[in-house]
Amino acid sequence: MAKFQGVDYYSIDGLLSEEELLARNTIREFVDESILPIIEKHNRAGTFPLDLVPKMAGLGMFGATLPPKYGCAGMNNVAYGLVMQELERGDSAIRSFASVQSALVMYPIFTFGSDKQKDMWLPKLATGEKIGCFGLTEPDFGSNPGGMITRAVETPDGYVLNGAKMWITNGTIADVAVVWAKLNGVVTGFLVEKGTRGFSAPEMRGKHSLRASVTSELIFEDVHIPKESRLPGGTGLKLPLSCLSQARYGIAWGAVGAAMACYDAALNYARTRIQFDKPIASFQLTQMRLVHMVTEITKAQLLCLQLGRLKDAGKARFQQVSLAKRNNVYHALEIAREARGILGANGILDEYPVMRHAANLESVITYEGTHEMHTLIVGEDITGIPAYA
């Protein structure tokens, strides 16, 4: 297959700094050399390529925007976004791993953790020596996490946790879980280590989407944890929601990567596939589909870039992140389906990346806030009227 040349219809590369381009190009190469050759095998087997973790860490992608003091790369948000874009061009499962480790585990420890928790966990999470997961969703509480049942009760020497989480990325392979539970009725964050008595994390099987990602239940049965394992920097649902906002930012970029992979595959195929004695790219209907794809990719790229610039200036609002996640994932999924159509029967084969991306994006449009929840977030922002219940 021809080497990926990027999709840059509006010369957006010209708006990027040298550091940002370097970060993007480094991960682009990593994806070509280390992810694309192995991803179909893992997707088929339903396994995550754990052996890639040290290499990913070496490229600075875990906690990439956090300070070098903890062994992190200290990138700006645009460079981090470009890293997520390239990773998801490889596969949403690989980007999900990096998103969870960075935005849902390292970010809350950095933002709400004690100095001791930061010193203990951040350097090891940055090197990939330790893996983390984020437990918010429960079997009966997804879009409405505030209703969670998982409870923490204070004891003289710490806390006892009871409850269950579901759909937790990296759960089974995680050394530490950032767990959200109600303490005296208030959502509070705890760090629960693998191997703690009463804590188990069985893997969920049977997924048709994000197959190369580990997804797990977290079960807490009278789990005793010490006082120091609580995140001391605040309480309330706004804490986990602020972590999700970090992760959604990365997803907005990541979706562009998945869309670019599908567009690239469709364009190359359309140029070479002959029907009625002509390449199918010569038919007006095919051109219309390709033009729609490149238009939506270009719009999504510009959305991400401006969102990243706002974030670097400390001005990005969570509602703006919602708009970008909502738009970019929706259009990436639409592009994946269109690309599948252009490839005809070949579109369903794993010789091409399209069907894998389409299936993955079905998860991406649901997790980190469903498409509908982001609609309601932006709807409330522009009207001033909440419409959730």
- Interface residues with ligand FAD (CB under 6 A)? 100, 134-137, 142-143, 167-169, 210, 215, 363, 366-368, 370, 372-373, 388
Non-local CB neighbours of 232 within 8 Å, separated by 6+ positions:
112, 113, 114
Bridge partners for 158 per DSSP? 155, 226
Q: How far is the CB of 375 from ligand FAD (least distance, A)?
A: 8
Q: How far is the CB of 47 from ligand FAD (least distance, A)?
A: 15
Q: How far is the CB of 355 from ligand FAD (least distance, A)?
A: 17
Considering beta carbons, is residue 130 or 289 the nearer one to ligand FAD? 130
Considering beta carbons, is residue 170 or 229 the nearer one to ligand FAD? 170
- Asked whether the CA dihedral 120, 124, 126, 130 is positive or negative, the reply is negative
The first and second tokens of residue 342, run together, are 């252009």
Q: Which residue's CB comes closest to ligand FAD?
A: 142
Considering beta carbons, is residue 143 or 155 the nearer one to ligand FAD? 143
d(CA 316, CA 145): 23
Q: How far is the CB of 138 from ligand FAD (least distance, A)?
A: 8
Q: Please report where in the chains the tokens 């009871």 appear, as a residue.
A: 162
Q: What is the longest distance spanned by two Cα atoms in the chain?
A: 80
The amino acid sitting at 286 is: T
Marked catalytic residue, from 88, 138, 217, 368: 368
Considering beta carbons, is residue 43 or 169 the nearer one to ligand FAD? 169
Establish whether 368 is a catalytic residue: yes
CB 120 within 8 A of CB 71: no
Considering beta carbons, is residue 135 or 308 the nearer one to ligand FAD? 135
Q: Which of 263, 190, 262, 177 is nearest to 226 (CA)?
A: 190
CB 135 within 8 A of CB 205: no
Query: DSSP assignment, residue 138?
Result: B
Q: How far is the CB of 175 from ligand FAD (least distance, A)?
A: 15
Helical residues (DSSP H) of 313-370, grouped into ranges? 318-342, 354-364
Question: Strands 176-183, 151-155: parallel, antiparallel or unpaired by DSSP?
Answer: parallel
The first and second tokens of residue 252, run together, are 């907005």
Where in the sequence numbering do the catalytic residues fall? 368
